[in-house]
Structure formats: structure tokens, C-alpha cells
């Protein structure tokens, strides 16, 4: 497998200093790190000045773990790129001036929700519920693959090189081998972030401010007036599992 970027928030180390060793182990294993802001706040609720300070505040940790500077990739928390044109453009200018590339997200099935649900079900030792989580996780991923393929075809007449968003969590770790197998069964091959974003599609900015943000393809669709598929019902169901 090619290396995968892990996007880091330094505030977590304020409460859990041992996580520095995890980041070092990740980097030493050949997996790169990227900037995800210091505190994982929403751009929609902040000024450009406060938000860019938060990005900069994350840099000392990244530089400590990876002095090469290969961490100059930035992913927006919550995929919020700015609810106004002024915010959006202001942050992009700052990122460009400070040598960052934006790590877009084009394939996302909100996998983090299953980590929370698994924690609840596992604490109850509810094996049938955990089996149901297994099945719905793969079903949600497969639905996302199909919907993303359809949207990419509508926008570009082809499949672009997708950038997949996943989160660190116990259920993600448990499901990763099967998830990779699912993607491969659907014809996917894996590549690096830089190679994926060398696809010409990513060179065209949607240039749209959207409250609440969205994936790269969703923003492109909104900019062109292309309707989006409704959110999977699985995402609503997962919030109630083992409650």
C-alpha cells in the first residue's frame, strides 16, 4: 500500500502527551503527517486571522516529528472551506503564502460514526449489534462509492482520482482489511495523495462559499447547479445504535 497522510491536531497532546510517540511511530513507519489545525475548530465560526493562527499553532509539533517539512498539506476540519468568499479566499491566500497544498476530500462515508457506535455496543458486549455495524459500515462505504462515481461522471464524464477520508478509531482498524478489499473489488487501486491530486480536476477551484462545507465534488456540483444525492439513511440509523 502507498503511504497515507495522517492529519494531526496538536491540542490532543496537551491532554495525552503519550500520543507524541504514536505520531513518531507513524512517521517512522513511512507514513506522512499533515496539518489539520491545532484545535479542530470550524472555520464557519472564526475569523480568517484566528483560523490561520490556529493552523500556524499546529506547526511546531509537525516540525518536531518531521523536520523535512513534508507536512505542508492542509485538510480543513469538517471540510469547511469558508461560509463567506472573504473567509474562503483569505485562508487560501495564507495557505499559499506559507507553502501549503490543500488535501481535498472527494470520497467520504462518515466512517467516524461507526467508531462511536462500536464503542457503545462493545461496552455492552452486544455481538448482534456489532455484526450489524460490520454490515452497515461496508454498505455505507459501497453506497458512497456508487454515489461518488455517479457525481464524478456528471461533472467530468469520468472517474477522477479520488481522495478518501478515513478516521483513526477502533472500528476503522477492525474493518480496514475488509474495506480495502471492497474498494479493490470495485476496481480501485491505491496511490499517494500527491499523485491523486495531480489529476487535472483538482486544479479547478469551485470558488464557492458554502456554510457547513462539503467534499471537493459536492462543492463543484453546487457551483454548477448539479443536484446532490440525499444522505444515506444508514447515517441516521447509526446514531441510534446501542443508545
CA–CA distance, 94 with 85 (Å, rounded to integer): 14
CATH match of 6-102 with 3.20.20.370? yes
Going from N- to C-terminal start, the domains of the chain cover 6-102, 112-238
What backbone torsions phi and psi does residue 34 show, to the nearest 5 degrees?
Answer: -140, 170
Number of Cα atoms under 13 Å in the Cβ half of residue 48: 14
CA distances 103 to 36, 139, 152, 192, Å, are 10, 26, 18, 11
Instruction: Tally the residues of the chain.
Output: 243
The grid cell for 147 is: 454515489
CA–CA distance, 88 with 78 (Å, rounded to integer): 14
Determine how β-strand 101-102 pairs with β-strand 73-74: parallel
CA–CA distance, 142 with 150 (Å, rounded to integer): 13
Task: Give the E-state strand segments of 149-224 in sequence order.
Answer: none
The pLDDT profile of the chain, 243 residues, written as one tens digit per residue, is 899 999 999 999 999 999 999 999 999 999 999 999 999 999 999 999 999 999 999 999 999 999 999 999 999 999 999 999 999 999 999 999 999 999 999 999 999 999 999 999 999 999 999 999 999 999 999 999 999 999 999 999 999 999 999 999 999 999 999 999 999 999 999 999 999 999 999 999 999 999 999 999 999 999 999 999 888 888 888 989 998
Number of Cα atoms under 13 Å in the Cβ half of residue 187: 6
User: How much is the pLDDT for 34?
Assistant: 98
- Please name which of 242, 204, 2, 237 lies closest in space to residue 106, comparing C-alpha atoms: 204
CA–CA distance, 45 with 92 (Å, rounded to integer): 17
User: How much is the pLDDT for 232?
Assistant: 86
CB 42, CB 77: distance < 8 Å = yes
Q: Helix or strand or coil: residue 50? A: helix
| DSSP letter, residue 73 | E
The grid cell for 217 is: 465534488
Amino acid at each position: 500500500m502507498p503511504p497515507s497522510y495522517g492529519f494531526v491536531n496538536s491540542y490532543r497532546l496537551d491532554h495525552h502527551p503519550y500520543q507524541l510517540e504514536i505520531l513518531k511511530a507513524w512517521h517512522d513507519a513511512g507514513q506522512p503527517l499533515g496539518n489539520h489545525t491545532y484545535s479542530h475548530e470550524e472555520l464557519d465560526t472564526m475569523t480568517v486571522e484566528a483560523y490561520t493562527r490556529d493552523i500556524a499553532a499546529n506547526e511546531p509539533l509537525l516540525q518536531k516529528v518531521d523536520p523535512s517539512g513534508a507536512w505542508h498539506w492542509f485538510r480543513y476540519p469538517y471540510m469547511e472551506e469558508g461560509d463567506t468568499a472573504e473567509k474562503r479566499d483569505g485562508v487560501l491566500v495564507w495557505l499559499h503564502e506559507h507553502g501549503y497544498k490543500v488535501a481535498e476530500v472527494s470520497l467520504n462515508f462518515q466512517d467516524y460514526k461507526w467508531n462511536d457506535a462500536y464503542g457503545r455496543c462493545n461496552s455492552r458486549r452486544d455481538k448482534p449489534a456489532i455484526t450489524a455495524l460490520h454490515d452497515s459500515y461496508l454498505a455505507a462505504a459501497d453506497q458512497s462509492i456508487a454515489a461518488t462515481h455517479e457525481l464524478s461522471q456528471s461533472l467530468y464524464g469520468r472517474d477522477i482520482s479520488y481522495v478518501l477520508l478515513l478516521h483513526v478509531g477502533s472500528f476503522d482498524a477492525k474493518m480496514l482489511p475488509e474495506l480495502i478489499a471492497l474498494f479493490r473489488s470495485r476496481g480501485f487501486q491505491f496511490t499517494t495523495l500527491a499523485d491523486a491530486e495531480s489529476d487535472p480536476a483538482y486544479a479547478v477551484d469551485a470558488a464557492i462559499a458554502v456554510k457547513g462545507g462539503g467534499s471537493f465534488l459536492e462543492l463543484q456540483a453546487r457551483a454548477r447547479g448539479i443536484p446532490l444525492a440525499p444522505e444515506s439513511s444508514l447515517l441516521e440509523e447509526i446514531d441510534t445504535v446501542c443508545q
